[in-house]
Structure 1
């Protein structure tokens, strides 16, 4: 308990550095960009339009408010994909800093997730816009979609810590993870309804953490429902366990990072 308290104190001690790293990434991304951070809003809108035209017309999915259905799953998956990919390379890409000064190394992967979270919140505005345009009734249950984003953020930090602690020693993980993300996207009901999944493959759906996060997100936002206790438990369970595993692996390996970055 004392150790956990010390880690929390240490974390808040470096909160200004964390903020600085996030702001630095935002400035780098939108440097010399005319529209700047507005791209975080436009990108999901343009992607949604393309996906809606292709899948709605060609595959005839019988989903009410298909555009809102697609963008709600898309932005959450994009947040996870971007944040974990950036967090994965955050340690070895910051090797020169790590070698020169003492900084809690977990600051780097966490800063990448928080940077992606900022982008996500602008993309969330795009989701609201699409919902309004497609006549989705915006209800007070919208607040639960913010809880969904929080669950996903915690889960992404856990995955980011795991990946960043492994890729330092095995750089091939970076390439493997890119392929895994593609498979993970198609295994998640982002652009198709759950009921088209064959029964023999349902176990893949129910063992997929992203299925629960996206389902939770859609419950409050699209359907006006309060997510069930069971759904909340699944999201919280995946988030906390993944975070704890990530912290354990990261702390176990971090003293060796300096030898490989």
Structure 2
């Protein structure tokens, strides 16, 4: 059954891309700066957070600008993918009620849109890498795997949130609070090593902590990603995807009547 569903989704691949690209262009359609916002947004966040945390809190981290910027970009992807995915079904009532297609296509396309936005944001990071003359290494081969794990984790969460939000509208507000808290509970602004081992274990229950740390190790510090981190993140991403799909499949038959 799962294989047949993947086969069906593959048959709709052109629709998925059309929806994803169309939503990406629509987000900047009436913006004066247009696609430049994809570059400016993480840069503005970097400036504010760098001033606060590097000067007031005196955090000493090598290449802290890159350390911070990469964390912001990766978290922005999770935040955007889940926030957009959360409204993927509820935001397109006419399509859901009048046209037949696998409804999870809407969630998948939203996650792809978020990925496109993150790719544009990454241009800023690449410029910073060149400016600081950070050496590249063969450990960059881990990057596609890390991005894939982040994408699967985000899509699993988005599937569950999209389905639940159709029936329980408070989900969107609860998730916004969780994202705000998660930003500070994830090692984006600080290295996890500033805490003692007991607290580190608690923080490392969060798969995003492993994903962000692995990305920094391989991209900025030219060290291989810890196999344990990749394994844990992979297991959590698969669990999130399975649970998200089951929740979505459970509620999907009643989407049209509920909307």
Q: Return the TM-score normalized by structure 2.
A: 0.95
Partner of residue 115, structure 1: 113
Partner of residue 99, structure 1: 97
Report the CA distance between 1:260 and its aligned residue: 1.4
Report the CA distance between 1:228 and its aligned residue: 2.5
Give structure 2 stretches of 5+ with no counterpart.
Answer: none
Report the CA distance between 1:131 and its aligned residue: 2.0
Q: How many residues align?
A: 259
Report the CA distance between 1:198 and its aligned residue: 4.8
Partner of residue 90, structure 1: 88
Alpha-carbon separation, structure 1, partners of 2:162 and 2:23: 18
8 A Cα contact 1:40 1:123, kept in partner: yes
Secondary structure of 2:87's counterpart equals: helix
Q: Report the more deviating stretch, 194-203 or 244-253.
A: 194-203
Partner of residue 191, structure 1: 189
Alpha-carbon separation, structure 2, partners of 1:193 and 1:229: 19
Secondary structure of 1:53's counterpart equals: helix
Structure 1 residues 55 and 152 mapped into 2: Cα distance closer, same or farther (>3 Å)? same
45, 48, 58: which one aligns with 2:46: 48
Report the CA distance between 1:63 and its aligned residue: 0.7
8 A Cα contact 2:82 2:154, kept in partner: yes
CA RMSD after TM alignment = 1.4
Report the CA distance between 1:199 and its aligned residue: 4.8
Partner of residue 252, structure 1: 250
Secondary structure of 2:135's counterpart equals: coil
Partner of residue 173, structure 2: 175
Partner of residue 136, structure 2: 138
Give structure 1 stretches of 5+ with no counterpart.
Answer: none
Report the CA distance between 1:200 and its aligned residue: 4.8
CA offset digits 1:138-188 (Å, max 9, x no partner): 223223223211110011000000111111111001101111111111101
8 A Cα contact 1:132 1:138, kept in partner: no
Partner of residue 204, structure 2: 206
Partner of residue 238, structure 1: 236
Q: Return the TM-score normalized by structure 1.
A: 0.94
Partner of residue 58, structure 1: 56
Alpha-carbon separation, structure 1, partners of 2:144 and 2:66: 16
Partner of residue 39, structure 1: 37
Report the CA distance between 1:6 and its aligned residue: 1.2
Report the CA distance between 1:41 and its aligned residue: 2.0
Partner of residue 13, structure 2: 15
Q: Report the more deviating stretch, 207-216 or 130-139.
A: 130-139
Alpha-carbon separation, structure 1, partners of 2:148 and 2:121: 15
8 A Cα contact 1:167 1:174, kept in partner: yes
